Amino acid sequence: MITLVPLADIAPDRVELLLDAAFGEDRHGRTAYKIRQGMPVVAEMSFAAIEDEQLLGTIQAWPAAISGHDGHDPVTLVGPVAVMPAAQGKGIGQALMTKLLEAADAGASDAMVMIGDPEYYGRFFGFTAEATGGWDVPGPVERHRLLARIRRAGGVRAQGLLGPDPDFASHAAAA
């Protein structure tokens, strides 16, 4: 039976091996890694799927922000979502996303962004590229794959740079 556990329960090197298997070892140059550079994982929205001690999938979330000239709006960067190639197509990706969204909707985040396939994240989870067209990103991105799921009253700014959350970075530096 597949169970979902906090990602913090899993040794980090096992998570890295899974991500290499799902995305390849050159994944670190991806734009999503630049968006969350220097940020710690958000533990309450990051999970692992395990079965018989085997790590089959992970999902992670990170502090980020849309920064403009007059301030910034904090958001949560979702991803990577990764499922071992041999275990794909069995609902593990959907179970991990559902778990993350439950935590988000219980108060962890009202504004989430991710880079992913709209055919998957739109169809099942309500992410769209509608709000993201005016955002700059710190690297190449296919615009239709820059997705958001915003539940915040008033939304988030339409123009700005998506990157690490400056508040979070200054808090971390002060700690």
Ligand X SMILES: CC(C)(COP(=O)(O)OP(=O)(O)OC[C@H]1O[C@@H](n2cnc3c(N)ncnc32)[C@H](O)[C@@H]1OP(=O)(O)O)[C@@H](O)C(=O)NCCC(=O)NCCS
Q: Where do contacts with ligand X occur on this chain (CB under 6 A)?
A: 22-23, 79-83, 88-94, 116-117, 119-120
Q: Which is nearer to ligand X, 116 or 160 (CB)?
A: 116
- Closest CB 41 distance from ligand X, rounded Å: 15
Q: How far is the CB of 81 from ligand X (least distance, A)?
A: 4
> Using the 8-state DSSP alphabet, how is residue 128 labeled?
B
Tell me the C-alpha distance between 95 and 116, whole Å: 17
Residue 127 Cα distances to 9, 13, 112, 119, 150, angstroms: 28, 30, 9, 10, 8
- 124 in Cβ contact with 102 (< 8 Å): no
Question: Rounded CA gap, 175 and 167, in Å?
Answer: 12
Q: Which is nearer to ligand X, 87 or 169 (CB)?
A: 87
H-run or E-run covering 14: helix 12-23
CB of 113 to ligand X, least distance (A): 12
> DSSP code of 44?
G
Minimum distance from residue 157 beta carbon to ligand X (Å):
24
Q: Which is nearer to ligand X, 72 or 96 (CB)?
A: 96
Query: In terms of CB distance, is 84 or 172 closer to ligand X?
Result: 84
For ligand X, the closer of residues 58 and 72 by Cβ is: 58
Closest residue to ligand X using C-beta atoms: 93
Tell the smallest beta-carbon distance from residue 27 to ligand X (Å). 9
Give the CA count within 13 Å in the CB-facing half-sphere of 116.
26
